[in-house]
Structure 1
Amino acid sequence: MILDKGSKIHFALLLVVALVFVWSAINPSDYLDWLAEVSPGVIIIIIVIVTYNKFRFTTLSYFIIALLSILTFIGGHYTYSEVPLFNWIKDEFDLKRNNYDRFGHFLKGLLAIVIREVLLRNTQLVKGAWLFGISTSIVLSIAALYEIVEWLSTKISKGGKVSKDFLGMQGDKWDAQWDMLLAFVGSILALAIFSKLHDKMLNKSGKV
């Protein structure tokens, strides 16, 4: 099978994601927490692979999916509150918490580009305010759903260590609100910064 340039890039991204996944599975902080953290990323990767020939995203969308998957694998390996680089940042700048989870939720705003592509290619929506508003709203709803899942995990496991690591509040009662806000702000910035590049890729590929 001869791969075109785009397919080679997509395969390279998949290889990098697979390598990080294997690394994350080797002696994680806690296997149950690791499983809870990496499951969403694994499910998305499987869906992307299965639908690759039927619905091929732009390289920008695949890059975003790969990046977000890698972030979840790193968080699952260490737990989000113990990622070494952000522990160093915490100590160096005398911060109150490890902000890797906040960083991750902010970057989850990049999903707005992936959602934008799905909407442009599968609905009657066109570029403009409605597309922008619906894309950011879906990102915000995903962020809210994730917070609900985190909350339910503490109820089901009755506040055990794994659920606390998964929840990752680090003593901040407004953690869920911060996470949702950062995802929302990230989605607005992602659309503002990358929409033109995304449009070029969509036009070049003839997908829109």
Structure 2
Amino acid sequence: MDTSKHSKIHLGLLFVVTIIFIWSIIKPASYLDWLAEVSPAVVILIIVIVTYNKFRFTTLSYCIIALLSILTFIGGHYTYSEVPLFNWIKEEFDLNRNNYDRFGHFLKGLSAVVVREILLSFTPLKKGPWLSGITISIVLAIAALYEIIEWLSTKISKGGKTSKDFLGMQGDIWDAQWDMSLAFVGAILTLIIFSKMHDHLLKNK
């Protein structure tokens, strides 16, 4: 695929992400919660857009960035514990909680591809066990940092409704451990499934 076709795909992804971002800001459940949820994704998108001409990711990485941004915007609009589809799943299968946040943290393991690409591009690391191990460790560290930020938000706001929506524990005292574990498992599966495809795309980048 030539560069112009890649660019058109990237532009299409940006268009879809922008549309969903605009939708998410229209009458969200809580503007403060929306801001807390979507801010990290917005910052990452700005960095990716600003550096596009200097450093270009593979299309696979851009697809993952777009998907994770969209998941964040949806969660920010409804709050993670009230996403309608997962409320329906909760009721249909008599579950104890809305699992959209668990689903989202598992899919955050996909960011392993993006981290892997950054490490291969900007560090001396080569393909192999060390690259995989460090990639997984970084994804897990990011997941842990996010949980720390969620915890700090409850301390700063002294347990207000917005911070509770942002935290999204839904009564589960092990919520943070679940979230980090799912991101960890997601990262491992991502590398197992996508590493060869990613290597091929890097060669043709």
**Length-normalised TM-score, structure 2:** 0.98
C-alpha displacement at 1:36, in angstroms?
Answer: 0.3
CA distance in 1 between counterparts of 2:120 and 2:41 reads 23
1:46 aligns with 2:54: no
Partner-residue secondary structure (3-state), 1:4: helix
Partner of 1:136: 136
- Paired residue secondary structure (2:90): helix
Match of 1:97 in 2: 97
The Cα offsets for residues 84-128 of structure 1, whole Å up to 9 and x where unpaired, read as: 000000000000000000000000000100000000111111110
Q: CA RMSD in A?
A: 0.6
Q: Which residue identity lines up with residue 124 of structure 2 in the other structure?
A: Q
Q: Distance in 2 between matches of 1:195 and 1:20?
A: 29
Other structure's SS at 1:126 match: coil
Q: Which residue of 1 aligns with 2:156?
A: 156
**Which runs of 5 or more residues in structure 1 are unaligned?**
none
Could you tell me how far 1:134 is from its partner in structure 2?
0.2
User: SS of 1:64's equivalent?
Assistant: helix
Where does residue 85 of structure 2 map in the other structure? 85
Instruction: State the secondary structure of the residue aligned to 2:105.
Output: helix
The yes-or-no answer on 1:173 pairing with 2:173 is yes
Taking the aligned partners of 1:80 and 1:51, their CA distance within structure 2 comes to 30
List structure 1 runs of 4+ shifted beyond 3 angstroms.
Answer: none
Structure 2: gaps spanning 5 or more residues: none
**Residues of 1 paired with 2:102 and 2:23: CA distance?**
23
Partner amino acid for 2:106? F
Residue 204 of structure 1 corresponds to 204
- Following TM superposition, by how much is the alpha carbon of 1:50 offset from its aligned partner in structure 2, in angstroms? 0.3
Cα distance in structure 2, aligned partners of 1:43 and 1:119: 20
Structure 1 residue 166: Cα displacement: 0.1
Give me the TM-score of the superposition, normalised by structure 1: 0.97
